[in-house]
Structure 1
Amino acid sequence: MEQLKLVIITGVTKGLGRSLVNRFDELGWRVAGCGRSKHLIEEMNLQFKGKHDFQPVDITNETEVEKWAKSVIALYGLPDLLINNASIINKNTSTWEIASKEFKDVMNINVMGVVNVIQAFVPEMVTKNKGMIINISSSWGRKGEAGLAAYCASKFAIEGLTQSMAMELPNNMAVVALDPGGSINTEMLNYGAQKYVAGSPSPEKWSKVAVQYLLSLTIQNNGQSLTCPCPN
């Protein structure tokens, strides 16, 4: 029996991550995902009746991430695709007024969370010279936006991290930074940049284009800063 393709997705309980789960499920992939909400994770495991594996994990906690990665690899093997999706946004406010804790929380989840996941999964992927890594970035990781300094700083960091990592991977692997392609109507956007909500596509509509685009990427895209096509 042929082994199912495996995708790892962080931040699966809401927004883009949740919609990605639906698309990969439709394609017959196995999804191993994580999120912070135990309640929502439990709901997802009940909904998919064992087809996929969802675990409550705080990606800022290095020990939790390592334990999760070891469990996933032991059960299902190495991922064909690793999507670092989990992130948060800061409340829209000027750089000198944002609370220090909120700035740190954004950086911890959006940057250190990605680093923790990479360090937990990628060493074995490199050993086997297998898999692609997608780091979800943003157009605000390539240009600034008033009121979103913390979020922009975190996504600029993801762009640099991706470019450096690309130079380190073996020839048969790739990592890219992916801008979803503009604003998507998520809870996060409503919190941090409400003025962009009107006219923005839903995560479900976005994911129907995004997953096909992701699956078209190859090792030739290694290190690139890409933008997902907008849904019609």
Structure 2
Amino acid sequence: MAQRTNGNGAAAGLDGRTAVVTGAASGIGRALAQRLAAHGSPVAICDWNEEGLEETAAAISGPVFARKLDVSDRQAQLQFAAAVQEWAPRPIGLVVNNAGVTVSQTASEAAVEDDEWVMNVNFWGVVHGTRAFLPIFLKQRSGVVANVSSVFGLMGFPTQSAYCASKFAVRGYTESLRHELKGSGVRATTIHPGGIRTNIVRNARFHVDDRGGTDHAAMAAEFAKIARTSPEKAAKTIHVGIEKGKDRILIGPDATAISLLTRSVPVHYFDVVERLMGAVRR
């Protein structure tokens, strides 16, 4: 895979320090890697999709290290962290555990293999990535661990029980970590994207949607209409939020609205969501 470096001096703050991004073959991961590189950071990227990963690496003009990686593999994550540390032309300042997948199925008819796949990538991938790089940050007493949850880490949604469980788990894990890290010089940030124009729905394992439909293409097309935030806008929001030291980063107006709704109506929020979705669909 691609591997480039140079001898430029480090810049102040996050910009200029080495950044690690998982799930960088497309979507938010690709846009974020490109943005961080454009702001002077050497970037280490990984993804299971080797072809997409190579495309991301080719689009980055600065120092880049790219490796095909299954984030659910703990040993592979440890080996990746060691390789990045050896390669990094500047201290590692940021790790974004972004890789994610989903499945659309009812809880009563869920395939165990699908639920395990989602949890292994979305939750254990985050845990393994955090544990792989955290010792490096603690030793240097600086760095940011940014873990990508979702608006579905703020609310439950029918046919998304596994995905919601994984993203709630990421939220709880990262918030607990943030409290543990107080005074260490290391920060933990939770990221909650709303509808982002990525391929996550198109690449989902699909059985049935929330209205009982079995047309995967129709579901993906509907998501494309609702998802208003571009990956580039999401990347900017993440970058700016991390630079400002935010503990929680909400991406898109829908994420902001859902955060407010679930705090205002913590039990019956979905009654409101259903009415709003009906209006949007019409």
TM-score range, shorter chain: 0.7 to 0.9
Contact 1:137 1:155 in 2 (8 A): yes
Compute the displacement of 1:5 (Å). Answer: 1.4
1:215 aligns with 2:243: yes
Alignment of 1:1-16 (within 5 A): 1-3=8-10, 4-16=16-28
For residue 183 of structure 1, what is the aligned residue in structure 2? 195
Q: State the alpha-carbon separation in 1 of the partners of residues 203 and 52 from structure 2.
A: 20
Identify which of 79, 89, 113 aligns with 2:102.
89
Contact 1:206 1:230 in 2 (8 A): no
Q: State the alpha-carbon separation in 2 of the partners of residues 150 and 109 from structure 1.
A: 11
Identify which of 38, 49, 62 aligns with 1:26.
38
The AA in structure 2 aligned to 1:41 is L
Compute the displacement of 1:41 (Å). Answer: 2.6
Unaligned residue ranges in structure 2 (runs of 5+): 1-7, 11-15, 205-218, 255-282
Compute the displacement of 1:24 (Å). Answer: 1.2
**Corresponding residue SS for 1:29:** coil
Aligned residues: 224
For residue 104 of structure 1, what is the aligned residue in structure 2? 116
Identify which of 251, 260, 265 aligns with 1:228.
251
The AA in structure 2 aligned to 1:207 is A
Q: State the alpha-carbon separation in 1 of the partners of residues 240 and 178 from structure 2.
A: 22
CA RMSD of aligned residues (A): 2.1
For residue 73 of structure 1, what is the aligned residue in structure 2? 85
Unaligned residue ranges in structure 1 (runs of 5+): none
Identify which of 138, 141, 144 aligns with 1:126.
138
**Corresponding residue SS for 1:119:** helix
Q: State the alpha-carbon separation in 1 of the partners of residues 182 and 87 from structure 2.
A: 25
Task: Calculate percent identity across the aligned residue pairs.
Answer: 27
Bigger Rg, which one: 2
Identify which of 207, 225, 232 aligns with 1:198.
225
- Structure 2 length-normalised TM: 0.73
Q: Deviations over 1:88-111 (max 9, x none)?
A: 011x22111121101000000011
Compute the displacement of 1:70 (Å). Answer: 0.5
Identify which of 27, 48, 56 aligns with 2:60.
48
